Chain A
Amino acid sequence: MQDFAAQTVVSVTGLSKRFGERLVVDNISFDLQRGQCVGFLGPNGAGKTTCINMLLGLVEKSAGEIRIFDLETPRFHREIKARIGVVPQADSLDPDLSVEENLHTYAGYFRIPRRLARERVEELLHFFALHNRREEIIEHLSGGQRRRLLLARALINEPELLILDEPTIGLDPQARHLIWERLAILQAKGTTMLLTSHYLDEVSRLSQRVLILDHGHVVVQGEPRQLITDLVGLEVFEVDGTPAELDALEASFKQCNARLERVGDKLYVYAREDCSRLAKVMGEAANWVRRPANLEDLFIQLTGRSLREA
């Protein structure tokens, strides 16, 4: 039992949040095990950020229990936050201060002794390739450098749990890859992570578990590959064509164990078995691709195609 507790970093039970009449988070439960990276997914407005803010004690919960490091939050928010690192979605760096000063100021909030702080700042500047920019004022940094500095800042207290809210939003592929590489190193060192992102390739790459949230509920949680196979299928055919062509193809695909979806001039075939024999039929259609089913298919299947902010 004690071992179990030591392995469970975050334990959320029956958590709800009501803003006036609106129930934003509705009775959700999940665990986060030590060393795991959990992808926390959902369309905009699904309740992800509210959940994270409740973990940090920045939003008061309406019901339920949150335990982090086996301590109850918000009661022990100081003790808990001393062991957490957060990369917020919005840039909250101090624009008037230099790269180095930003890190030292943050170290001060954690009351890290000066000498130790200097060592860690040095390490982090190198780890995130910012050492040549230490004197630079934040305003002069590129988007990628700012995100790296936000990550470095989140690691100043050597956190056991890292909360990443859209860590690579708006970055170019080079910058994203550098951040993924660094996060993989941290994972290998055993840092537990909670990751929210709309880039589902990023989530597949980094997470061992995903949890999909919609309208304040947990729609599904589990190991991503398993969920994709169980709920979406093995592979996906995407076919473009005229309505008549697609109608004909739909009929022939009925022979195979697959789920069909029509979106405009496109037919999606989510195959639950090997449908290779149908590729011949498809050859006649104007344009098609065949690819493995992925997390994005799962996400769309579970949360729908309609825009949430329309």
Chain B
Amino acid sequence: MNGFSFWTIWLRNGRVWKKHILATLIGNLGQPLLFLLAMGYGLGRDMAAVEGLTYLQFIAPGLVASAVMYSAALETTYGSYTRLTVQKTYEAILMTPLGVLDLVLGEIVWGASKGLLAGVIMLLTLPLFGVVPSPWVIALLPVLFISGMFFAAFGLIMTALAKNYDFFNYFTSLVITPLFLFSGIFFPVETMAQPVKGILAMLPLTPIVSLARILCYGRFGEPVLLKIIGSLLITGGAVWLAGYLLRRRLIQ
């Protein structure tokens, strides 16, 4: 009956977002676009091909995945924490028929939607850099959404644990930035020696980056199914944990 109540929270966030559209888009897309320019165009011109792709082509799909990660995770850390504490939005919502589960789903699906939007805009800008995706790129969209769900849930877990905004510095420095650097966006994980290769393959962004590369160019060399199932499983786990921790924080 109330299964889709979380949608009303999504709509609330959308209403607020419409007022700050430009600032949030620039904030979320600035970094991946600049990296694409500096690394792909600047550095990449003098580099040998990687896995049969120019360096710009090699890093572009991974940067799309990273835009999703940044956008989703920032939304459910700084954004959600503001709603939890300063604005008391959650308190106001919990005085209506909505419950903590609606709140958690609303926030995570919202974060994932913003992530997906950032990813789509990145994809649309790729032709400007001479990178033309294959039709398979359509299949990348649900993958990006799942990844958005994972990082939105991860961010919400941090929000449920945070005592102040400074806490999120740990999250960005110790989790998000390392994932950005070591998930195979900038170098092929496959060519690393064990055990480094095994460790990097276990990072949550790694399968998304390689799926992005596979689907962006329609080059099916590696197994796809395992990466998708693995991503779905960790996403489910993260959503559950976010719900558990936020409930513990909100209902005393």
Contact = CB atoms under 8 A, between A and B. Distances in A.
Interface of A: 19, 53, 56-60, 77-79, 81-82, 84, 86, 88, 90-97, 101, 105-106, 108-111, 157
Given A56-B95, A94-B12, A97-B15, 11 more contacts: A58-B95, A81-B96, A81-B97, A90-B91, A92-B91, A92-B92, A106-B92, A108-B8, A109-B5, A110-B97, A157-B96
Given A82-B97, A88-B91, A88-B92, A59 B12 contact: no
A78 B94 contact: no
Contacts, number: 76
Contact of B89 (A59, A86, A92, A110): A92
A299 B250 CA distance: 32
Contacts of B98: 78, 109
Contacts of B250: 58
B97 A105 contact: no
A59 B97 contact: no
Contacts of B252: 19, 53, 58-60
Interface of B: 2, 5, 8-9, 11-12, 15-16, 19-20, 87-89, 91-99, 250-252
Contacts of A79: 97
A282 to B, nearest CB: 51
Given A58-B250, A108-B11, A86 B95 contact: yes
Contact of B96 (A53, A93, A94, A109): A109
A108 B252 CA distance: 26
Chain A interface mostly: loop
A106 B92 CA distance: 9
15 contacts: A56-B94, A57-B251, A58-B252, A60-B251, A78-B2, A88-B95, A90-B88, A94-B16, A94-B89, A96-B20, A101-B15, A105-B12, A108-B12, A109-B96, A111-B8
Contacts of A108: 8, 11-12
A10 B20 CA distance: 43
A140 to B, nearest CB: 14
Nearest to B8: A108
A194 to B, nearest CB: 13
Nearest to B91: A92
Given A59-B252, A105-B15, A94 B87 contact: yes
B81 to A, nearest CB: 15
B96 to A, nearest CB: 4
A110 B96 contact: yes
A204 to B, nearest CB: 27
A90 B15 CA distance: 23
Contacts of B95: 56, 58, 81, 84, 86, 88
